[in-house]
Amino acid sequence: MDSLPKLLPVWSNAAEHALADLIDFSVASKYQPDFGGAGVDIETDESGISRCLSLKCHDSRQNKLSARYLTLPFTVPNEVTGAVEPCLQYQLDLNQRIRAFESTISNYRGIIKRKGPFSDAVQKMTKVLNSKKAHKQLKNTAIHQSLLDLMQAQPESFCYRECNWNFTGGCLATVPPGLPNGSILVAHPCGTDLDKLNISEYRSAVAASTEAFLQKKSSLVLKPMDSRQGTIFQVSLRNVQKETACCVRSRNHCRYIHLFGTLDKDPTVLSEFVCDDVLCYTMPSNHIFGELLAVTETGQILLQQCDRTEPSWKASVSHEQPSTNQWWCADFGSHPRHVCYMDRSGLYSLDARRPGSRRHVFCNNRHEAFLKDDFFLFKPNPLNCHQIYLASSRLLSVWDERHSRQPMLTWSHCLQHAPSFLEFTPLQGSEDGSHSDLYITLGSQRSREVAVFHVRQDSPAVQPLSLVPPWHLSRPSDFVKHLEHQGCAVDERVLKRVNAPLIGGCMVECMSGTFSALQLTSYGDIFHQDFVLDGDEPLSSGIWNFSAGCKLLPAHEIKENVEWWTDLVTACDPEYEERPEKLPLLVNHFIDYQVHVLFALDICVLAVMPCCPPHSSLVPLQCCTE
């Protein structure tokens, strides 16, 4: 037990009440979410009850963060070809069509049992489809108009999802600090189809500069060797054995790239992997350079080396609760052959040293800390290989594999929709250069929110401390809201860009006491917000602002910072046109016999429940192919 973390977090108000009586204070799991870094030293008896011995609370006044400004454009606008948002719009439209189709079916339910033209038509078609000569009889079968309406309104897929899970993991990554030349590398997708990889080298601006804290030195673009690779869905960077590894995932393709400390030396693509299935998640190993872990949509976990064409180890897993909203994540644990994977209901681990190993349940959403939350992301703590950060629909929590009964820390991230990317930024926290502070960036694709958490990690034997309450970054659309509130007209193309879903976000450490928060939209545009640590200013001065944007800024001041970007957007983007929603007309169901039989049978099964207006007419089958 001496090697286990010594602190257990509680609610701040619970910690304050504990000050009055430290003799017997039981810490229930429902009180664990922490907002201010309060914790207690504990002992655990044989029954598993944790009792308080003393109280500890970190002095958050030593970590006063001030936002320099609201979020502003950082890079030139990425080139786009159309007015349709490429990441989330299709899924939201599909969700709407699914709801409309199900609503129509629900409205018809029960009326089909009444005798009438529609009921007779459905029964007649059902008999034809079940007969031995269905192929000949279908040619002259009349289809009721309401069945045609249902066929035309049917969505092309019933895969209802809250977000576009292909972008799980995030597309914006930065090399952890520590490069010998002081450079900062940032990688993200670019191009009209987001199929190219942009790698930029930045340096910190001088302390007295009024510009952004990050200044670009150079950049290069890696084009796909095969045009069929398609959109980049995930970009992952890791420092491994003093080398920098980059994994780039598209639909069924993954590239492993070797990056150097500067772009003076071109990155090297060490290997490319093609999978027969859709890739859900890929991650380079944090133990061995040249290794990566991948998981497919069908549950195939693959351990791949760059010098091999076939995986050295693989396993097949399945969902305990299958649904259209399921997705997989996978990463390495505390050992090079300790493989962790997760779906919406649980976090599990496997031993990759031998095939057929039994899975170990790390934690699941039936744990009382989650109250059946869905799980979305996890990543190992870069400062402690035994700990894992896990993001659910409501919480961000820290778990230790040495003591997995309860989370070490828990926050409510307050994101309106599910998180879709999670990044870490270790900071130089002590004079000897060791990383003791960690910034965690957790973002939501759909609600365009990014929550940031600041954690102190002094020793692997002591749990991480929450230094300050989590805060949300200013959104890319905030500067537009300031302009519109003051009567300034904003071009539709600019609105489209700043209101796009987020597909990545990270923190970048700049010079001492400053850092920059970057956000990447689905159009390939990067926005930034700069922060400083005001260690000498008292809290009473009122400058302890986390996200800024709360004070109305003058329009002319905002325009000075964004006009260069808005002018480029209006100059290079195609004209924005409102287009009516395009519903699929599935006439192919009438042309191909086999597909027609299957679909018509499904509709008839549905039609046993639905009905339609009694005065609808019958339409001959052959007329529907026009």
**Domain at 357, CATH number:** 2.130.10.10
Q: What is the pLDDT of residues 563-590, one digit of tens each?
A: 999 999 998 876 654 444 433 333 333 3
In the predicted model, what is the mean pLDDT of residues 335-350? 94
With respect to residue 221, please indicate whether it lies within any of the assigned structural domains.
yes
**Angle at which helices 145-153 and 593-607 cross, to 10°:** 110
pLDDT at 514: 80
In the predicted model, what is the mean pLDDT of residues 51-78? 67
pLDDT-derived band at 132 (thresholds 50, 70, 90) equals low
**Domain shared by 451 and 511, yes or no:** yes
DSSP result, 320-338:
SS--TT---EEEE-SSTTE
- Which range in 19-28, 146-155, 385-394 is most confidently predicted, on average pLDDT? 385-394
**Domain shared by 181 and 109, yes or no:** no
pLDDT at 400: 86
Q: What is the pLDDT of residues 348-359, one digit of tens each?
A: 999 998 888 889
**Domain shared by 365 and 412, yes or no:** yes
pLDDT-derived band at 409 (thresholds 50, 70, 90) equals confident
**Domain shared by 152 and 173, yes or no:** no
pLDDT-derived band at 80 (thresholds 50, 70, 90) equals confident
pLDDT at 130: 75
With respect to residue 479, please indicate whether it lies within any of the assigned structural domains.
yes
pLDDT at 505: 95
In angstroms, the CA 622 to CA 626 distance is 8
Query: Residue 275 pLDDT more than 70?
Result: yes
**Domain shared by 151 and 236, yes or no:** no
SS3 367: coil
**Domain shared by 51 and 70, yes or no:** no
Mean pLDDT value across the chain: 77
Q: Find out whether 292 and 247 touch, Cβ atoms under 8 Å.
A: yes
Per-residue CA distances from 248 to 24, 151, 333 (Å)? 52, 39, 21
With respect to residue 345, please indicate whether it lies within any of the assigned structural domains.
yes
- Which of 597, 379, 601, 409 is closest to 506 using CA atoms? 379
**Total domains, the chain:** 3
With respect to residue 578, please indicate whether it lies within any of the assigned structural domains.
no
With respect to residue 51, please indicate whether it lies within any of the assigned structural domains.
yes
**Domain shared by 290 and 149, yes or no:** no
**Domain shared by 508 and 567, yes or no:** yes
Identify the domain boundary among 527, 542, 572: 572
- The helix or strand, by DSSP H or E, that contains position 362, with its residue range, turns out to be strand 360-364
Residues 6 or more apart from 87 whose CB is under 8 A from it?
164, 167, 445, 500, 501, 503, 522
pLDDT at 384: 87
**Domain shared by 232 and 201, yes or no:** yes
pLDDT at 470: 80
- The helix or strand, by DSSP H or E, that contains position 619, with its residue range, turns out to be strand 618-620
Domain that holds residue 611: 101-157+585-625
With respect to residue 579, please indicate whether it lies within any of the assigned structural domains.
no
Lowest model confidence (mean pLDDT) among 11-25, 71-85, 364-378, 400-414? 11-25
pLDDT at 4: 45
Q: Find out whether 478 and 71 touch, Cβ atoms under 8 Å.
A: yes
In the predicted model, what is the mean pLDDT of residues 206-210? 61
What residue has token string 């993954």?
254
pLDDT at 352: 92
- Which of 511, 374, 552, 533 is closest to 467 using CA atoms? 533
Query: Residue 16 pLDDT more than 80?
Result: no
**Domain shared by 478 and 423, yes or no:** yes
DSSP result, 211-269:
S-SEEEEEEEEEPPSSGGG----EEEEEEETTEEEEEEE-SSEEEEEEE-SSTTS--EE
**Domain shared by 497 and 610, yes or no:** no
With respect to residue 21, please indicate whether it lies within any of the assigned structural domains.
yes
In the predicted model, what is the mean pLDDT of residues 12-28? 41
pLDDT at 534: 65
**Domain shared by 451 and 323, yes or no:** yes
Q: What is the pLDDT of residues 512-529, one digit of tens each?
A: 668 899 999 999 999 999
- The two tokens of residue 439 are 């910034």
Question: What's this model's pTM, rounded to 2 decimal places?
Answer: 0.80
With respect to residue 580, please indicate whether it lies within any of the assigned structural domains.
no
pLDDT-derived band at 78 (thresholds 50, 70, 90) equals very high
With pLDDT > 70 as the criterion, what percentage of the chain qualifies? Answer: 70
